[in-house]
Amino acid sequence: MNKSLLMKALTNPLSKAGFIIIVAVFLLAMLAPFIAPYDPDDINVKAILIEPSWQHWMGTDGLGRDVLSRMLFGGRISLLVGLVAVGISTIIGIILGAIAGYYRGWVDTFIMRLVDVMLSIPSFFLILAVIAFLTPSIVNVMIVIGLTSWMGVTRLVRAEFLSLSGREFVQASRALGAKDARLIFTHLLPNSLTPIIVSSVLGVAGAVLLESGLSFLGLGVQAPQASWGNILTDGKDYIQFAWWLSLFPGLAILITVLGYNLLGEGLRDALDPRSGSSK
C-alpha cells in the first residue's frame, strides 16, 4: 500500500472515526500504569460495591477493587490478545492462501477442503473444546484463537493470487525466468495486501469479542489478572444492584469493537476500487 492510498484511507470518514477510537483506547491501555488511580488488584473491604463517585469514577467491585483501574489494565490484556491472535491467524492464512493460489492443483484442493472442514465447525465451540483441554491462560487463549481463525484470510489470499497470476506483469516476470519465491514475494503478495489488511483489522474486533466471551465463561484470562471479560463476569453476580460492574466493561468492548469495524469498513471503501462508496 503506497503513501497516497494510506492517506486516502485515513481521510475516509469511517476509517477516521475508527482510527480515533482505536488510538484513544490504545493510549488509555498503554498509559494505565501512570493514569490508573489505584492498584487494580488492591482489595479494600471497606469500599465494597461503592457506586460511581468522585473517589471511584466507575465504582468498586465485590472485593472493593477500583473498577476504573481494572478497566484500564484489562484493556491492555484484551487488546494484546486481539492483536497477537490476529497476527497468528494472518500469518497462517497468508502462507496457506499463497500456496493454494500459486501452485493450484491437488495442493489447492487439499488446502481448500481443510478450510471447508474448519468452517463447518462453529468457531466458538471449537475454541471452547480446545481450551477445555488446556490450562486457561493468556498465552493459550491467543494461540487457540489464532489457530482457529485463519480460514478467511486463506480464502482471500488464494482468490487474490488466482486473480493476479494471469496479469501481464506476472506473466512477463515468469517469462524472464523469475523464480517462484520472487514472483510470490515481489509481485503477488504486495498486490494482495489491501484485503489482508482489511481482514486483519476486522479480525481484531472478532478476537477481542472471543477473548471477552472466553474470559466471561472462566476459560480465558484468569483472576486476579483483569480483562474486560472477567470484569464482566464479576458483574453478573451483582447485576441487580451493582449496574456499573456490567455497564462499563460492556461499553468498553462495544466501543473497541465498533472502532475496529469502522476502521475496517472505511479501509475497504477507500482502498477497494470496486467498492461503490469509493467512487
Per-residue model confidence as pLDDT tens digits over 39-53 = 988 888 888 888 998
- The DSSP element (H or E) to which 236 belongs, if any, is helix 228-236
Question: Averaged over 121-139, what is the pLDDT?
Answer: 78
Residue 12 CB partners (closer than 8 Å, separation 6+): 266, 267, 269, 270
Classify domain 3-278 at the CATH topology level.
MetI-like fold (1.10.3720)
Contact indicator for 161, 188 with CB cutoff of 8 Å: yes
Q: What is the DSSP string of 92-155?
A: HHHHHHHHHHHH-HHHHHHHHHHHHHHHHS-HHHHHHHHHTTS---HHHHHHHHHHTS-HHHHH
How is the chain split into domains, by residue range?
Answer: 3-278
Burial class (CB in 10 A: 0-12, 13-18, 19+), 225: middle
Question: Averaged over 129-157, what is the pLDDT?
Answer: 85
The C-alpha atoms of residue 119 and residue 6 are separated, in whole angstroms, by 32
The residue that leads in pLDDT, 31 or 136, is 31
Asked if residue 279 has pLDDT above 70, the reply is: no
DSSP 276: G
Please name the residue that has the C-alpha cell 476502521: 263
Q: How far is Cα of residue 174 from the mean position of the Cα atoms in its chain? A: 37
Distances (CA, A) of 57 to 11, 25, 38, 50, 231: 34, 17, 11, 10, 16
DSSP 192: G
Dihedral of alpha carbons 259, 233, 39, 140, sign: negative
**Residue in 32, 124, 21 with CA at minimum distance from that of residue 76:** 32
Residue 87 CB partners (closer than 8 Å, separation 6+): 146
Q: What is the pLDDT of residues 233-253, one digit of tens each?
A: 888 888 888 889 889 999 999
